Structure 1
Amino acid sequence: MSTIAFDDFLKVDIRVGRIVAAEPFPEARKPAYRLRVDFGPEIGERKSSAQITRHYSLEELPGRLVLAVVNFPARQIGPVRSEVLVLGIPDADGEVVLLTPERDVPLGGRMF
């Protein structure tokens, strides 16, 4: 594993947001959902796609706090323009488990 300088870490802008909508994404190559995430007034609402269908249903996602990288360039994923990278960790089977704060925190708060 290589090391990075602290200034390099600071370049990655990871913020907390609240999922406001989750929809099916049948056009995705791997099972995924289309998400809309609210990061508060400074950043606003952003779109993303996430391969989280194994552990999360569409109905349980709205209202959930998540962490996401908000300063990557937007990426076209099929018909969806993904504007943020919602973060997760693979479980023992390689399926994504979302990273989320353990308490309610203000939207747009930056991880440090």
Structure 2
Amino acid sequence: MHVTHDSAALPAETIGFDQFLAVDIRVGTIVEALPFPEARKPAYKLVIDFGPVIGRKRSSAQITEHYRIEELPGMQVAAVINFPPRQIGPVMSEVLTLGFPDEAGKVVLVRPSKDVPNGGRLF
């Protein structure tokens, strides 16, 4: 699977609703944000709390252009929680934090417009 950050990319092929449901996208609150100097591209290490059922998960996110490390704790974000863990340098990323590219291709996080309970599933 190739993921592109090109906002001008053509739409993906049509999928069935069951395929959409297979991707488990949840909301969580960032509880810890740390520098990630070992990353090839500027990034932060995140710990995101998805509530009592899912718990806290680690992620790496290339969001240094639009977000200061000190503003991230307390922020709710969306993430895919059912991909297999992925080794990113010395960090094991357990979830994929979601974002959209801005005009320059820099990541803008996907966030709910109002606070919602951690662990809520996107539908």
Residue 33 of structure 2 corresponds to residue 22 of structure 1: yes
d(CA) in 1 for partners of 2:119, 2:35: 25
Residue 59 of structure 2 corresponds to residue 48 of structure 1: yes
Q: After superposition, what is the alpha-carbon deviation per residue over 1:47-77, rounded to whole angstroms, capped at 9, x for unaligned?
A: 0000000000000000000000000000000
Secondary structure of 2:39's aligned partner: coil
The aligned residue for residue 99 of structure 1 is 110
Residue 86 of structure 2 corresponds to residue 75 of structure 1: yes
d(CA) in 2 for partners of 1:67, 1:102: 11
The aligned residue for residue 59 of structure 1 is 70
Query: TM-score, normalising length from structure 2?
Result: 0.90
> Equivalent of 1:7, from 14, 18, 43?
18
What is the percentage of aligned positions where both structures have the same residue? 69
CA RMSD of aligned residues (A): 0.4
> Equivalent of 1:86, from 79, 86, 97?
97
- Structure 2: 5+ residue runs without aligned partners? 1-11
Displacement of 1:2 in angstroms is 1.1
Secondary structure of 1:59's aligned partner: helix
Query: TM-score, normalising length from structure 1?
Result: 0.99
Q: Stretches of 4+ moved more than 4 A in 1?
A: none
Q: Write the letter of the residue equivalent to 2:84.
A: P
Give the length in aligned residue pairs: 112
Displacement of 1:91 in angstroms is 0.2
